[in-house]
Structure 1
Amino acid sequence: MGTSSPGPAGPADYFTPSPLNGLLYGHIHSAALRAVAVHGIADLLADGPRTAEDLAASAGLHAVSLRRVLRLLAGHGLFTEDARGAFELTENGLPLRTDVPGSRHATILLVSGEMFGRAADGIVDTVRTGTPSFETAYGVPFFEHLAASPAERQLFDAGMAAVSGPIDDRVAQSYAFPGSGTVVDVGGGRGGLLRAVLTREPALTGVLFDRPGTVADHLLDIKEVRGRWSVEGGDFFSAVPSGGDIYLLKHVLHDWDDDDCARILDAIRRAADPGKRLLVIDAVLPEGSAPHPAVALDIAVMLLMRGRERTAKEFERLLSRTGFRLNRILPTPSLPSIIEAEAV
């Protein structure tokens, strides 16, 4: 009797674990994560395990539906469920809480929210036209929309601050900052990186420079850096504070295309004397298609704005175009590297 060849894959194969299926159902897992974040489920578990029924009663939710969502996220290692049906946060799920160091709650609300969702829906057209899908959906560039929408700008700033907090400390410890001088943090947001640098180096002074509405909510008013910082609001396309010994540019260049990056770098070069240093803190993509966590970030950037993640060669070309010499690229314990350049 001959051996029959395998038949076509049956419907069950669409639900078995595989790289393809993980991508196909990814939006469902993200939506489940958003549901528990919006309803504050993790905070309700701060004092220990609780059943879905108990959680639902506290949060005004449908218990059976909540349990199904928690069961899905337990499969991702964010919760555990005991024999009596009580759920508990795991160490991996702890950042879902709003009251812990390293909380990712604001970032989850941002990335799973309407702005990112509408942008993601338009990826089909972005691939066809090259235009960020956010601009198509909202009719204006991303940062113009934030400037006109205070609530969404606040969410964006809070989400980015939550991401940046752990990164700031790791970047600050990965570079040998001088014992004296002035550090100018260009596009520094609320000042998390500058605060980390000044905390580590008690003889340094610093200037935080960003949009007026952003720096107004700065994080520098702590005793460890008291009297060693100032804040300036402005437009980094036009001019930045002069007199710095080191200029920081963290997670800025990846927001912009090469021409706009050149405008930012030109403004810094006009402010920086020859020999002064510029530290670009951004992910550095490998050449080719090797796996790298910044590849997904590159797609998010593509959908929202006209920037991109770059390779080392692309950074070198951009810096040399604007009067800087690339000295070296230093890894950090986090996603971004430190790209050290010098004004020539």
Structure 2
Amino acid sequence: MASAAPKVPPLPLARAVGRFRDGLAALHRRFVPGHIALLELHMMGFLSQSISAAAQLGIADALARGPRQPGELARELGVDEDALRRLLRLLVSFGIFEQRRDGGYQLNRMSQALRSDGAVSLRDLFLFFGSEYHRTHWGHLADAVRTGKSVGPALDGMDFFEYAATNREIGDLFDRAMTAVSGLSVDTLLAAYDFGQFGTIVDIGAGQGSLLTDILRRTPAIHGVVFDLPEVVAELSMQLPDLGLADRLTIETGSFFDTAPKGGDAYLLKHIVHDWSDADAERILRTVREAMDPAARLLLIDIVLPEHGRPHVGKFTDLEMLVNATGRERDAHSFGTLLSRSGFTLSRIIPTVGPDSILEAHPAW
């Protein structure tokens, strides 16, 4: 049975805890030798690969059936027992998995997210980040900084989205990873914004439709339209009869550079514009604007870069955009400028407990 979805803490509490955490980390770095602090930060890359290895090996799925002794777990996974102990020793030390007094291992609140059937599962996201494809590209970060351009065309002969469309093993893994990201944020978005005020929501670049289907399940009165490329929504088309949403969810296909469905009360774009340059993002937004009625609303769900100098997830994903896409993360001023050039007026920015904010805009003409 999948674990229950986490409760969303109040936004002021989450922000206060975040500032406290950042302050403690900064204090630690200040009072150890600089070279030691730098080494500790760099070795976090080993931790990220260890998490991806745990996802690949299916450790959490095995432990979801109950605690396991090391030998039993190794046999079930088909891995070397000593090597498994060494991997889990690191992960347990960071609070990922727990080791019992009898030496066995069990799941905890963090490792629940490594389950393939978790209420919030990040397994596919970690499989993508840990893939050889992704590691190879990030190995060329210095090249991206030298040129200011994505490394995909030089390494693969094409940009990421072209590569994902023609190499469906990576494309399917990426689509599942983005579905995992949607599952990560749905509770925080619903806690921050009333999607039930709209009759029909059109999700532009919806991927496999996980965010919109979750919204529809929790808001029974509204209807939804999933819009993406045919190869991206093909799996959703096959699943639609089993979702119980056949009377409220429709699927339309096409490219958001060329067209968008008409008749929506709200147009939702989650993690779309950050993938693209300002020129391409403006082209996408203008296409959506042409499909919108004057009273409709645009809802951009994206990271808004903060003004403070503390660590923030957007500073990581901004480099992901540099390495693997043509886009960037943007601050509030940049979003306002982009929306104004695209025919919109930014009404408000609604923060959430998670890294994303909801930018609500309306047509300017």
Which amino acid counterpart does residue 45 of structure 1 have in structure 2? L
Distance (Å, rounded) in 2 between the aligned partners of 1:334 and 1:24: 25
Greater relative contact order (Cα 8 A, min sep 6): structure 1 or 2?
2
Is the alpha carbon distance of 1:21 and 1:173 closer, same or farther for their aligned partners in structure 2, counting shifts above 3 Å? same
Q: CA deviation at 1:80?
A: 2.2
Which structure: greater helix fraction?
2
SS at match of 2:60: helix
Alignment of 1:45-194 (within 5 A): 45-177=63-195, 179=197, 181-194=199-212
- 1:128–1:45 Cα change, 3 Å: same
- Distance between the aligned counterparts of 1:98 and 1:200, measured in 2? 22
Kindly state the Cα deviation for residue 17 of structure 1 after the two structures are TM-superposed: 10
C-alpha separation in 1, matches of 2:261 and 2:303: 25
Question: Which AA in structure 2 matches 1:343?
Answer: P
1:244 to 2:256 alignment: no
Counterpart-to-counterpart distance in 2, 1:180 and 1:38? 40
TM-score normalised by the chain length of structure 1: 0.90
1:285 is aligned to 305
Would you say 1:231 and 2:257 are equivalent positions?
no
Matches within 5 A, 1:191-210: 191-210=209-228
Compared CA separation, residues 343 and 169, structure 1 to 2 (3 A): same
What 5-or-longer segments of structure 2 have no aligned partner? 1-31
Report if aligned partners of 1:191, 1:220 keep a CA contact under 8 Å in 2: no
Contact 2:266 2:299 in 1 (8 A): yes
- How far apart are the structure 2 equivalents of 1:82 and 1:175? 41
Taking structure 1 as reference, are residues 255 and 112 closer, same or farther at Cα in structure 2, changes over 3 Å only?
same
C-alpha spacing 1:137/1:40, structure 2 compared with 1 (3 Å): same
Tell me how far apart the structure 1 counterparts of residues 268 and 99 of structure 2 sit (CA, whole Å).
Answer: 45
TM-score by length of 2: 0.85
Query: Which moves more between the two structures, 140-149 or 226-235?
Result: 226-235
Q: Which has the larger radius of gyration?
A: 1
Q: Report how many aligned residue pairs link the two structures.
A: 331
How far, CA to CA, are the matches of 1:178 and 1:56 in structure 2? 48
In the aligned structure 2, how far is the partner of 1:115 from the partner of 1:232?
Answer: 30
How far is the alpha carbon of 1:104 from its aligned partner? 1.5
Question: Residue 221 of structure 1: CA displacement?
Answer: 4.5
Residue 235 of structure 2 aligns to a residue whose secondary structure is: coil
Residue 262 of structure 1 aligns with an amino acid whose one-letter code is E
State whether residues 327 and 342 of structure 1, in contact with CA within 8 Å, keep that contact through their aligned partners in structure 2.
yes
Letter matched to residue 90 of structure 1: N
Residue 178 of structure 1: how far off its partner (Å)? 5.1
Counterpart contact for 1:202–1:225, Cα < 8 Å: no
Give the aligned CA root-mean-square deviation in angstroms: 2.1
Query: Is residue 263 from structure 1 mapped to residue 283 from structure 2 by the alignment?
Result: yes
